[in-house]
Amino acid sequence: MPEATVKGTKIHFLEKKGASSFRVLFIHGSGGNADGWKRVMEGLDGFHTLAVDLPGHGGSQGEGKTTIPEYAEFVKYFCEALGLNEIVLGGHSLGGGIVLDFAVRFPAMLKATLLIGTGARLRVFPEALDLLKKMAEGEIPPKFEPWAFSKRATPEVLREGEGEWAKTSPKVRYYDMLACDQFDIMEELGKIKCPSLIVCGREDRLTPIKYSEFLNSKIAGSRMEIVEGVAHMPMLENPKALSSVLSEFLRTLS
């Protein structure tokens, strides 16, 4: 498991080498980790891909951040530590918000963006945020809720989702979701000029299709794809379909 030292903090990441001239870096969602991208990366034959554990997540040291701009700055430092430039930056949910903020503030570092199950605003259901806060403060024991999955998700997929969920502390999960709830970049999307692919699961209730449609309408030249039969977690529910959509777009960049 490769590691990089970023501002004195050891950061874990995954890497699958490929012949592509550019690197694709994936950023996970709230309370997630790089392992959620494994099967998607395996399906991207020929492309050089990486996925990072944000601070305080997965195998990375440090503490989780409290805002999406702080996470975007961390990603910048991570890229600089690895000598990555002109990257294709992909993110899911919280990770997608990080990509959007990064694209607005550090455009010279980007070749393209992959925006998966995300939006320019990422409001969280108030009851969910309240529940996460109580878990973080120890008022109630941590409990996995399958809000992010479609009703047809198999027990195996739900077990995998719960396993990944359990790798992050309740406090980090809560602050990730709070960072999402406070995020709003709607007025700045016109600043994003690089090629962008927007992907949404047909049954996504957390970042519904209208979020992706808004991104598509505001980011010049962007392209939107819908993955059928999945909700907010396409990388777990149907990684093969997601890899196929991403591969088609990435080939246009070569």
Euclidean distance between the first and the last CA atom of the chain, given in angstroms as a whole number: 28
Maximum Cα–Cα distance across the chain: 51
pLDDT score recorded for residue 67: 98
State the SS3 of the chain. CCEEEECCEEEEEEEECCCCCCEEEEECCCCCCHHHHHHHHHCCCCCEEEEECCCCCCCCCCCCCCCHHHHHHHHHHHHHHHCCCCEEEEEECHHHHHHHHHHHHCHHHEEEEEEECCCCECCCCHHHHHHHHHHHCCCCCCCCCCCCCCCCCCHHHHHHHHHHHCCCCHHHHHHHHHHHHCCECHHHHHHCCCCEEEEEECCCCCCCHHHHHHHHHHCCCCEEEEECCCCCCHHHHCHHHHHHHHHHHHHCCC
Q: What is the pLDDT of residues 105-117, one digit of tens each?
A: 999 999 999 999 9
Q: What is the pLDDT of residues 136-157, one digit of tens each?
A: 999 999 989 898 999 999 999 9
Which residues contact residue 58 at a Cβ distance below 8 angstroms, ignoring those fewer than 6 apart?
Answer: 12, 32, 33, 34, 35, 167, 168
Q: What is the pLDDT of residues 33-52, one digit of tens each?
A: 999 999 999 999 999 999 99
Domains of the chain are 3-251 (3.40.50.1820)
pLDDT score recorded for residue 125: 87
Residues of the chain with pLDDT under 70: none
